Amino acid sequence: MPTRSELVNRAAGVLLGEACGDALGVPYEMAAPPVGEAVMKGGGLGPYDPGEWSDDTQMTLCVAQVAARGLDLTSPRGLDAVAEAFVAWMGGGATDVGTQTRTVLSDASARSGSPHQRLTGASDALHARTGLTAGNGALMRTSIVGIAAVDDRQNTAEAARAVARLTHADPLAADSSVLWSEAIRVAVTQGRLDLAAGLNLVSTTNEGRWRDWIEEATAADPGAFRDNGFTVTALQAAWAAITSTDRGDGSAMHLQRGLQAAVRAGHDTDTVAAIAGSLLGARYGSSAVPTQWRRMVHGWPGFRAHDLVELAVSTLGGGRRVGSWPSVETMVDLGIPTLGIPHPIDPDIVLGSISDLHRVASLDVQAVVSLCPLGLTDIPAAGMSPRDHIEFWINDDSTDSTDSEAPNPHLDFVLDDASSALRQFRAEGKRVLLHGRRGEHRTPAVALRYAVDLGVAPELAQSSIREALPGIWAEGRLWEVAAHGA
Ligand SMILES: [Mg+2]
Terminal alpha carbon distance of the chain:
24
Quick one: average pLDDT of 263-283? Answer: 97
Residues 99 and 139 placed together within one structural domain of the fold: yes
Ligand 1 center to residue 412 CA distance, Å? 33
CATH number, domain with residue 450: 3.90.190.10
User: Same domain for 193 and 127?
Assistant: yes
Same structural domain, 310 and 438 = no
Q: Is residue 235's pLDDT more than 50?
A: yes
Q: How far apart are CA 374 and CA 397, in angstroms?
A: 16
Confidence of residue 395 (pLDDT cuts 50, 70, 90): low
Question: What's the pTM?
Answer: 0.94
- Give yes or no: residues 413 and 270 share one domain: no
Mean per-residue pLDDT over the chain, rounded = 94
Residue 321 pLDDT > 90, yes or no?
A: no
Distance in Å, CA 46 to ligand 1 centroid: 9
| Count of structural domains, the chain | 2
Measured in Å, residue 20 CA sits from the centre of ligand 1 at 12
**Cα 246 to averaged position of ligand 1 atoms, centre (Å):** 25
Rounded to an integer, what is the distance from CA 73 to the centroid of its chain? 21
Same domain, 347 and 434: yes
Instruction: State the distance from the centre of ligand 1 to the C-alpha of 115, rounded, in angstroms.
Output: 24
Evaluate if residue 398 carries a pLDDT over 60.
no
Q: In terms of residue numbers, what domain contains 34? A: 4-316
Q: How far is the CA of 161 from the centre of ligand 1 (A)?
A: 21
The single-letter DSSP state of residue 344 is: S
pLDDT of residue 396: 56
Do residues 386 and 429 share a domain? Answer: yes
Whether 257 and 362 map to the same domain: the answer is no
What's the 90 CA to ligand 1 centre distance in angstroms? Answer: 14
- Give the mean model confidence (pLDDT) for residues 62-73: 96
Q: Poorest-confidence range of 73-87, 174-188, 248-262, 313-327?
A: 313-327
pLDDT tens digits, 445-456: 999 999 999 999
Residue ranges of E strands in 61-150: none
54 lies in the same domain as 143: yes
Task: Decide if 324 is inside a domain.
Answer: no
Quick one: pLDDT band at residue 399, thresholds 50, 70, 90? very low
Distance in Å, CA 397 to ligand 1 centroid: 39
Adjacent-strand bridge partners of 303: 299
**Which one of 300, 316, 332 terminates a domain?**
316
- Could you tell me the distance, in angstroms and rounded to a whole number, from the CA of residue 59 to the centre of ligand 1? 10
Q: Exposed (0-12), middle (13-18) or buried (19+): which is 69, by Cβ within 10 Å? A: middle
Cα of 96 vs centre of ligand 1, distance in Å, is 7
CA of 18 to the centre of ligand 1 (A): 11
| Confidence grade of residue 400 (pLDDT, cut at 50, 70, 90) | very low
Q: List, for residues 15-48, the tens digit of each pLDDT value.
A: 999 999 999 999 999 999 999 999 999 999 889 9
- 310 & 351 share domain: no
Asked if residue 24 belongs to a domain, the reply is: yes
Percent of the chain residues past pLDDT 70, beyond the cut: 97
What CATH number is associated with residue 231?
1.10.4080.10
Ligand 1: distance of its center to the CA of 54 in Å? Answer: 5
